Chain A
Amino acid sequence: MTVAFAFLTGMTLVSALGVVLSRNVVHSALFMSGAFLGVAGFFVMLNAPALAMFQVLIYVGAVTVVILFGIMFTQRPQVRRFRTIINRQIWPGFFAAAGVGAFLCYILVGESWEGARPGNGARSVAVLGRSLLGVDEGVEIFSLLFEAASVLLLVALVAAIVISRRKDEEAGREEPGR
């Protein structure tokens, strides 16, 4: 267990450092997938395989791939000098990161964790879905957030289609056959 923890921690930290310090944007994105995989490993260690699977599916399989897909269309993803990475926003960035970290530590230490038990989650899909949405426990806020997120995603989807749609005269010019 300790060996696995050390391995995952090292993998996550080294990959995260690689994201920030790499001179090549593609390398940064690939390192990011490594960091995400390390976090998924932590979820597995904490007996939360469902979370780990969603982490891999969404962050490694979708987010990183889409980011890489976007980078591929840019011309030169290579930074010449190391100085360019450590740019003049280093101190604001440092304070923002430290602030978020301190805030998270404060919340996590202050929170009472007595109700939380490790467990692999329900085997039945219905129970698993209800506990994911927090409907069973009397905390119905999660289902509201879920609906809000789905509306947001729908808006983004429609907006992407509207923006990328070609005008009629433009389409006519490019395809004279039709």
Chain B
Amino acid sequence: MALEYLEQEPWRFLISSATVIFLVLNIAAVLTLAERKVSAYIQLRYGPNRVGPRGLLQPAADVIKLFLKENVSPGRADRWVFLAAPIAMFLPAAAVWLVIPFGPGMVVADLNVGLVYFFAITSIGALGVIMAGYGSRSNFSLLGALRGAGQMISYEVPLILSLLGVAMLTGSLSMVDIVEYQAGGFWNWIIWPQLPMFLAFFISGLAEVKRIPFDLPEGESEIVGGFMIEYSGMTWALIQAAEFASMAVMSAVAATLFLGGWQPPLPFLDLGVFNWVWLGIKTTLLIFVFQWIRWTLPRLRMDQLMDLGWKVLVPVTILWLFVTAGAMLVV
């Protein structure tokens, strides 16, 4: 075939990463609509229903509006840091997708340390929050950034600890190997032996992407938006896209590591190349749980947040690590 050179290395990587970035931007746009629709149905409303059939074209309208808006930055702002911060927030959220296998053989980079890559890239996200808070030169922003950095550093610990069980069970840090390990039906998924770890991962994932009930860095009612208070137009849109993209990436990673990734729930449902549908369904369900929690629970206080992280999640994950190790020795 004439297009065979596209499967060679530099081109394959460039094309697939461009595809992934395109996918992430679209996910972020669709999730803005999903967020409003889910909130509306939970509160017995209709939500946006004017643009297009049942409001389906609302994301397009939002994007056009945000493009046309003026980009205002405060006069005293640190201009370069202020403008670079949304990019520093968005790029990590997009980059994690590079190691997630979408289907058999459908992965941009099959790293042997994919799990460590996920931690490493997630930890850069705190940098973007600090840049936004400092660059805006506003007290609310700085407060939000300090809260955000503290929260993200604290919850990094249970996030990493909760995935050690997966690495021990599968004996590999590669996302591809972890998905292969869970083949054969839903009873082989890692969520069953690692249920406490899954819950700990999900809770620390919530905190890591700064969603309610862990949205102290934004805290509309106390610090009116926190680190994103001074942003407008496209820069604000990029921050929002980063938040939604990181929510989607947390769900996708949870689905890959604990729920079998693209493996079908029952063996006869194997769709071959179209197995990415299963990953999509699992990710969508987890994203829905994120939104469900958002519109159900109130925000935690700062001390409750730290207590939950250090006094509940870390001991639970360490305990289950020992249980896993003991079970592996016995079995």
Contact = CB atoms under 8 A, between A and B. Distances in A.
Interface in A48-67: 49-50, 53-54, 56-57, 60-62, 64-66
Contacts of A57: 116, 119-120, 123
Contacts of A64: 127
A62 B149 CA distance: 10
A133 interface: no
B130 A61 contact: no
B131 interface: yes
Contacts of A126: 171
Q: Is the interface of B mostly helix, strand, loop or mixed?
A: helix
B149 A68 contact: yes
Contacts of B142: 72
Interface in A95-122: 120-122
A62 B153 CA distance: 8
B112 A72 contact: no
B315 interface: no
B120 A56 contact: yes
Contact of B112 (A24, A49, A60, A65): A49
A53 B177 CA distance: 18
B134 A26 contact: yes
A153 to B, nearest CB: 13
A30 B116 contact: no
B174 interface: yes
A65 B127 contact: yes
B130 A27 contact: no
Nearest to B85: A30
A49 B123 contact: no
A124 interface: yes
A62 B145 CA distance: 15
A53 B127 contact: no
Residue of A33, A60, A125 most packed against chain B (CB within 10 A):
A125
B171 A124 contact: yes
Contact of B127 (A54, A60, A121): A60
Contacts, number: 88
A50 B174 CA distance: 11
A128 interface: yes
Interface string B125-155: 0110011011000000010011001100100
A88 interface: no
B20 interface: no
Contacts of A123: 112, 172, 174, 177
B117 interface: yes
A47 B55 CA distance: 49
B172 A65 contact: no
Given A27-B81, A53-B117, A60-B124, A69 B171 contact: no
B121 interface: yes
B130 A65 contact: yes
Nearest to B149: A69
Interface string B73-111: 000001001000000000000000000000000000001
A53 B134 contact: no
B93 to A, nearest CB: 14
B318 interface: no
Contacts of B173: 125, 128
B199 interface: no
Contact of B116 (A53, A65, A122): A53
A33 B112 CA distance: 24
A69 B112 contact: no
Interface of A: 24, 26-27, 30, 33, 49-50, 53-54, 56-57, 60-62, 64-66, 68-69, 72, 120-126, 128
21 contacts: A27-B78, A27-B81, A50-B116, A53-B113, A53-B116, A53-B117, A53-B119, A54-B116, A57-B119, A60-B123, A60-B124, A61-B120, A61-B123, A61-B156, A65-B153, A69-B130, A69-B149, A72-B130, A121-B112, A124-B172, A126-B171
